[in-house]
Amino acid sequence: MSAESRTLTSASQESLEASLYEARQKIHPRAVSGIFASWRWIFVWVTQLVFYGVCWLPWNGRQAVLFDLVERKFYIFGLVFWPQDVFWLAVLLIISAYSLFLFTAIAGRLWCGYACPQTVYTSMFIWIEKLVEGDRNARIKLDGAPMGGAKLARRAVKYGLWVALALWTGFTFVGYFTPIKTLASSLASLSLGPWEWFWFLFYGGFTYLMAGHLREQVCLYMCPYARFQGVMFDPDTLTVTYDGERGEPRGTRRKGDDYKAAGKGDCVDCDLCVAVCPTGIDIRKGLQYECIGCAACIDACDQVMAKMDYPKGLIRYSTENAIAEHWGWKEIVAHIVRPRVVLYSAILGLIVLAFAWGLATKASLRVDVIRDRGTLAREVEDGLIENVFRLQVMNVSETPHRYAVTVNGLDKIDLVGERIFEVPAAAARGFVVSVRVPPEAGKTGSNTIYFDVKSMADQQVAVHEKAIFIIP
Amino acid sequence: MDFNNTSDFVSGFWSMYVIVLTLVSVAGCGVFLLIQDKAKTNAGSTTGHVWDENLEEYSNPLPNWWRWMFYITVVFALVYLALYPGLGGMGGSFGWSMRGQWDAEMKKADEQYAPIFNKFLKQDIRAVAANQEAREIGQRLFLTYCTQCHGSDAKGGKGFPNLADSDWLWGGTPDKIRESVAKGRDAMMPAKGTKPDLTAEEIKDLSSYVRSLSGLSADAGRAAKGKELFPAACAACHGPEGKGNMGLAPNLTDKVWIYGSSEAEINNGITHGRVNRMPAWGEFLGEAKVHLLTAYVYGLGGGAKEDPAPEAPAAPAAAEAAAPVAVEKK
């Protein structure tokens, strides 16, 4: 597989006859340090401290973040989400999507390069690999070495550590659905439930497979986001770019040589940018779909440039327009504000505001008024017209409440029977109420009435719900 | 009939047709894959397909591990078809069926929930009616199975009796309620009662008379004429005083009118008769749930406090003979 056969631009394509299938070439990215590598490690630490840590936090005598599938309630700190709240999940996904659009339009595959779990876990697994087997060259050498005691030992330790990390990841994942402390004790006695076993091993197993073995294959051949992010690029999108005009013609030289006199560009052709690339491409061939925007090549090249006493940034974040027009940072930044970025930002901002406002004022009481279907209306003593409603009262708070029900909207409208209902904490109860009016109180057919359900303890906790009263 | 091994096909031909078509397709995929093992592609060239001005499709090679996934799908298909239904009328060696799975899940659910229902089965209806847990279960059952006709509050509606009052068509003792729930009830009032030659005017007279029995406003002249007609047309079932007969015909002197008390509705009832039916739930719900529902209905407030004096059990033939001649009520 030659990287050039897959470049985004077709100009430099050369056609060569090959098998319909290509064997995978193992990639051993060389460890790299630098500003962008540091940013990636910051994201690894932040995301994984949250993931591995939050499930252990207590809150009001329960786990702070728990997705209770059996009870169909999602607890996130002080908030309790019911199946009816799936709306919030949709809004969250919309926010995620618009964030992806915005970041990608501005600076390409930032998500892929720094925060995507595939990148994060691969970084962690490669860190272990480097710890046990050494860096790129040592690993390539070990791959080629015949199987022997030393190789076997290193491989065993590496796989062992990977499996341990993967299992811990699977355990943590299940710990968001089963209280993790209970889960820990049942795991210790090997008495998980069948679905707990399945998800523990499935999630752990796939973490191991994806981060340990499949790595860049996930980005190249499985991930849909990787592909559709390309359509959000435009000529003003920041991407990891090799400045060919400055670098070419590339060539080796000694430090201090007057390479310009020799007709050479700044690229010393050390191939470090290729060695550090997690997807095994050569960025000097231009923007390629395999590039996940991790900027490892920028870090590597900058180190070489510094050693050579050349200016940094032979490979840098730049835009197609900036390279063509020789723009500096000022022009690049000026071109960040363009219609699609403004539109994405505006929509994202509005949705985030609405989301935050909605969560802050999320009702702790919800009432559904369900008309009885079998009996539209009936005549009772004294010629009064009676309609029957079922009030489905959902107490979304974590304390029990007594609620008073009143009804209004028609002349002399009144409830028959019980008017005060008690609902335990985080529970739903259905109550049947009969409502009566004199036949002359409304028109024949549908009349709009309103139920008011108020908490006895807190008048703020109230629901005003519309219903239809039918007079035959 | 064995529901686990039924086929959608009425003719064996279609089963064979599907089997052959499926196996040829699966085998064809495998053969095609084998041929492709030797195929070459021009890596780097395009297929010539272009979308959106410059989006081109390349003839680049596939990752090798995809090839093995393709083969795995072929093997998976064959294994799946051997184990599960899919090849025409063949049921697969696991003997799995949707019906079977449904039965298994129902059985599992029964094992889980039956003890909850069954623990009330040995208790007297009055005791069950007074038990809070049983009432809650009973209410949920009622809201699922009974509400469609009798309403969530069990107070009925036009054509469907109120179960929460003390007026009963078929009897309000625990045994009678259980019988109504388990076996259902059929009710029929013949058109024009027992006097098929009633004229429209005479029907109006009868309506006025029965309204007056209920204390409703009625034309006194018509009511007097209706009173003359009543013994011949209605009394056989509703009794000489119109007070009805339990299990046969409703009381016309109370304020309860199941189809409405307006003159027009009563005219309608006499002219065309009434047919009504409560479906039988015994077989569908089972004894334990019927028991709980009986207790719930009994406990709604109208349950008869005293059992009537014990009577000789009616012969089944007599009960059947009595059934079709019953009720227009309320």
Which residues of chain A have a CB within 8 Å of the CB of B58?
Answer: 5-6
Q: How far is B171 from chain A (nearest CA, A)?
A: 22
Per-residue burial over A121-138, b if 16 or more Cβ lie within 10 Å, else e, is bbbbbbebbbebbbebee
pLDDT digits (tens, 9 = 90+) for A186-196: 999 999 999 99
Asked, for residue B251, whether it belongs to a domain, the answer is yes
- In this structure, are B253 and B205 located in the same domain? yes
| Residues contacting A280, CB < 8 A, separation 6+ | A3, A25, A27, A29, A216, A274, A290
Residue A6 pLDDT class (50, 70, 90 cuts) = very low
Q: Between residues A205 and A360, which one has the greater pLDDT?
A: A205
Q: How far is B63 from chain A (nearest CA, A)?
A: 5
Q: Compute the CA torsion angle B102, B107, B111, B112 (nearest 10 deg).
A: 0
Q: Compute the CA torsion angle A212, A214, A219, A222 (nearest 10 deg).
A: -130
Q: In terms of residue numbers, what domain contains B200?
A: 191-272
Structure letter (DSSP) for residue A463: E
Asked, for residue B109, whether it belongs to a domain, the answer is no
- In this structure, are B236 and B129 located in the same domain? no
Asked, for residue B330, whether it belongs to a domain, the answer is no
Give the global pTM: 0.76
- In this structure, are B126 and B72 located in the same domain? no
Asked if B160 has any chain A CB less than 8 Å from its own CB, the reply is yes
Which contacts (CB < 8 Å, 24+ apart) does range A377-381 have? A377/A470, A377/A471, A377/A472, A377/B157, A378/B151, A378/B155, A378/B156, A378/B157, A378/B158, A379/A472, A379/B260, A379/B261, A380/A436, A381/B255
- Which residue on chain B is closest to A382 by alpha carbon? B255
Asked if B65 has any chain A CB less than 8 Å from its own CB, the reply is yes
Distance CA B162, CA B230 (A): 27
Specify the domain boundaries for CATH 2.60.40.10 within chain A.
Answer: 365-471
- In this structure, are B226 and B146 located in the same domain? no
- In this structure, are B24 and B141 located in the same domain? no
Predicted ipTM > 0.85 = no
State the maximum Cα–Cα separation within chain A, in Å, rounded to a whole number.
Answer: 111
Quick check: B43 and A18 CB within 8 A?
yes
Which contacts (CB < 8 Å, 24+ apart) does range B302-309 have? B302/B163, B302/B164, B302/B165, B302/B166, B302/B167, B302/B168, B302/B172, B303/B129, B303/B172, B303/B173, B303/B174, B303/B177, B304/B166, B304/B168, B304/B171, B304/B172, B304/B173, B304/B176, B307/B173, B307/B175, B308/B173
pLDDT per residue rounded down to tens, chain B (330 residues): 444 455 566 778 888 999 999 999 999 999 999 998 888 888 778 888 888 887 888 888 889 899 999 999 999 999 999 999 888 888 889 989 889 999 999 999 989 999 999 999 989 998 898 899 999 999 999 989 998 889 888 888 888 998 988 889 998 899 999 999 999 999 999 999 999 999 999 999 999 999 999 888 888 999 999 999 999 999 999 999 999 988 889 999 988 888 888 888 899 999 999 999 999 999 999 999 999 999 999 998 776 655 544 444 444 443 343 334 444 444
- Which residue on chain B is closest to A472 by alpha carbon? B158
Residues in chain B: 330
- In this structure, are B208 and B258 located in the same domain? yes
**Helix or strand holding residue A80 (H, E):** strand A79-81
Distance of CA A90 to the CA centre of its chain: 13
Please give the order of strands across the beta sheet that includes A79-81.
Answer: A65-68, A73-76, A79-81
pLDDT computed for residue A14 by the predictor = 54
Instruction: State how many domains chain B has.
Output: 3
Q: Which of A72-76, A299-303, A396-400 has the highest mean pLDDT?
A: A299-303
Nearest CA-CA partner of A456 in A411, A413, A419: A419
Of A378, A432, A434, the CB nearest to B158: A378
- In this structure, are B119 and B20 located in the same domain? no
**Residues of chain A with pLDDT > 90: what percent?**
61
Strand partners, B262: none
Asked, for residue B105, whether it belongs to a domain, the answer is no
pLDDT digits (tens, 9 = 90+) for B32-44: 999 988 888 887 7
C-beta of residue B207 within 8 angstroms of C-beta of residue B267: yes
- Which residue on chain A is closest to B140 by alpha carbon? A430
Quick check: B60 and A378 CB within 8 A?
no
Asked if B56 has any chain A CB less than 8 Å from its own CB, the reply is yes
Q: What phi and psi, each to the nearest 5 degrees, are found at residue A250? A: -75, 160
Quick check: B150 and A374 CB within 8 A?
yes
pLDDT computed for residue B5 by the predictor = 52
Q: How many CA atoms lie within 13 Å of B170's alpha carbon, on the beta-carbon side?
A: 25
Pick the CATH number of A365-471 from 3.30.420.40, 2.60.40.10, 3.40.190.10, 3.30.70.890: 2.60.40.10
pLDDT computed for residue A468 by the predictor = 92
Of B60, B62, B260, the CB nearest to A6: B60
Nearest CA-CA partner of A315 in A353, A279, A349, A272: A272
Orientation angle between helical segments A149-174 and A180-188, nearest 10 degrees: 140
Asked, for residue B103, whether it belongs to a domain, the answer is no
- In this structure, are B126 and B23 located in the same domain? no
- In this structure, are B197 and B257 located in the same domain? yes
Which residues of chain B have a CB within 8 Å of the CB of A418?
Answer: none
Of B40, B65, B147, the CB nearest to A24: B65
- In this structure, are B155 and B201 located in the same domain? no
Does A179 sit behind a cis peptide bond, omega within 30 degrees of 0 on the bond before it?
no
Residue A9 pLDDT class (50, 70, 90 cuts) = very low
Across chain A, what does the average pLDDT equal?
89
- In this structure, are B165 and B285 located in the same domain? yes
- Which residue on chain A is closest to B156 by alpha carbon? A375
C-beta of residue A65 within 8 angstroms of C-beta of residue A57: yes
Of B151, B158, B260, the CB nearest to A372: B151
pLDDT computed for residue A140 by the predictor = 93
- In this structure, are B195 and B159 located in the same domain? no
Q: Which of B155, B163, B217, B278 to substitute to test the interface with A, most A CBs within 10 Å?
A: B155
Which residues of chain B have a CB within 8 Å of the CB of A5?
Answer: 43-44, 58, 60
**Residues of chain A with pLDDT > 70: what percent?**
96
pLDDT computed for residue B307 by the predictor = 52
Which residues of chain B have a CB within 8 Å of the CB of A230?
Answer: none
pLDDT digits (tens, 9 = 90+) for A85-95: 888 999 999 99
Q: How far is A412 from chain B (nearest CA, A)?
A: 21
pLDDT computed for residue B255 by the predictor = 84
Asked if B150 has any chain A CB less than 8 Å from its own CB, the reply is yes
Strand partners, B62: A21
C-beta of residue B43 within 8 angstroms of C-beta of residue B60: yes
Quick check: A388 and B63 CB within 8 A?
no
For residue B286, give the CATH number of its domain: 1.10.760.10
Distance CA A24, CA A121 (A): 21
Alpha helices for A326-370 (secondary structure H): 329-334, 339-360
Residue A103 in this model has a pLDDT that exceeds 70: yes
Burial of B100 per CB tally in 10 Å (0-12, 13-18, 19+): middle
